[in-house]
């Protein structure tokens, strides 16, 4: 069966599109799995009756609304508090041990999306060490979603389904529209800033880096570069927390060793 014209893949056509997107957004599509990106973008192009990537590039160049739509569609902002709760319970135990020797932690939530992840860490640390001041930095490439994360509002009940009742009552308020917002106390515990994992400098000396379900669309080469830089960013006894289905292949070659499923630490670390 032939494919619709709107999703026909022409290598030169897509290469032009890659260069144009890089020039106007700073997003390097060459670091993302091409077939997955083409499929996702094909659906968006069909919506506007665009039949080639060159035409779509021209549309993005002249239409700010379509450009914003592309950026919102391209960045994946699906998240929830304490996503995959059993793994957060494991993290709690790891942090309990770490706090015995490192009373003030530096945490980096990379690809923080709507802020659910860094706020989850903030709640966890507030429970484990209520009198300590920890540094929690949250970053994302999507500036619009960062603005929402900084506000800490607009959270639907299903995004908080894993939050214990006591923490929900302590750290959230519910608006008349049924959506939740984090308290000012919790917002103050997290600082947000834009960051591109492919091009920008990395945080250093991190006791904990969270990057969960962020790099799934990257090429293997891009993933390797990112994980290597994460390894270099960790404190010698630091922890890297990745998605439940993500496995870092040849971790030792990147300076990492597996601590448990979803958790890695620098080679030689003893936690």
Average pLDDT for the chain = 89
Does the pLDDT of residue 68 top 50, yes or no? yes
In this structure, of 34-38, 66-70, 72-76, 222-226, the range with the lowest mean pLDDT score is 72-76
Q: What is the pLDDT of residues 86-106, one digit of tens each?
A: 999 999 999 999 999 999 999
Counting Cα atoms < 13 Å in the Cβ hemisphere of 270 gives: 0
Counting Cα atoms < 13 Å in the Cβ hemisphere of 158 gives: 2
Structure tokens at 89: 């319970």
Structure tokens at 37: 């990106």
Q: What is the length of the chain?
A: 271
Average pLDDT on 68-92 reads: 83
Does the pLDDT of residue 39 top 60, yes or no? yes
Does the pLDDT of residue 233 top 50, yes or no? yes
Do residues 168 and 93 both lie within one domain?
yes
User: Would residue 79 count as lying in a domain?
Assistant: no
Average pLDDT on 163-169 reads: 95
Do residues 96 and 214 both lie within one domain?
yes
CA–CA dist 222, 231 (Å, integer): 14
CA–CA dist 249, 225 (Å, integer): 12
Do residues 90 and 178 both lie within one domain?
yes
- Of 53, 74, 95, which closes a domain? 74
- Of 21, 42, 74, which closes a domain? 74
Which range of residues forms the domain containing residue 241?
A: 85-266
Q: What is the pLDDT of residues 171-198, one digit of tens each?
A: 999 999 999 999 999 999 999 999 999 9
Produce one character per residue of 176-186: b if its CB has 16 or more CB atoms within 10 Å, e if not. eeeebbbeeeb
CA–CA dist 182, 201 (Å, integer): 29
- Closest by Cα among 30, 32, 37 to 7: 37
The alpha-helical segments, DSSP class H, found in the chain are: 11-25, 34-47, 53-62, 64-74, 85-99, 116-128, 143-151, 165-171, 184-187, 220-233
């Amino acid at each position: 069966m032939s494919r619709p014209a709107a999703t026909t893949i022409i290598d030169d056509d897509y290469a032009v599109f890659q260069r144009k997107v890089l020039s106007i957004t700073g997003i390097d599509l060459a670091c993302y799995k091409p077939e997955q990106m083409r499929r996702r973008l094909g659906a968006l192009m069909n919506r506007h009756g665009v039949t080639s990537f060159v035409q779509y590039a021209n549309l993005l160049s002249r239409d700010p609304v379509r450009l914003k739509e592309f950026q919102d569609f391209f960045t994946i902002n699906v998240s929830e508090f304490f996503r995959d709760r059993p793994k957060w319970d494991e993290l709690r135990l790891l942090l309990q041990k770490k706090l015995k020797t490192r009373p003030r932690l530096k945490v980096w939530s990379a690809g923080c999306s709507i802020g659910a992840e860094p706020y989850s860490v903030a709640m966890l640390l507030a429970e484990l060490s209520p009198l300590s001041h920890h540094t929690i930095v949250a970053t994302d490439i999507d500036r619009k979603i960062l603005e929402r994360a900084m506000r800490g509002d607009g959270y639907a009940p299903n995004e908080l389904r894993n939050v214990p009742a006591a923490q929900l009552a302590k750290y959230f308020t519910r608006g008349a529209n049924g959506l939740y917002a984090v308290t000012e106390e919790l917002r103050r515990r997290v600082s947000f800033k834009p960051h591109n994992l492919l091009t920008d400098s990395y945080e250093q000396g991190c006791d904990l880096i969270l990057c969960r379900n962020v790099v799934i669309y990257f090429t293997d080469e891009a993933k390797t570069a990112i994980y290597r830089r994460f390894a270099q960013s960790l404190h010698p006894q630091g922890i890297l927390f990745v998605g439940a289905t993500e496995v870092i292949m040849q971790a030792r070659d990147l300076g990492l060793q597996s601590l448990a499923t979803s958790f890695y630490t620098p080679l030689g670390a003893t936690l």
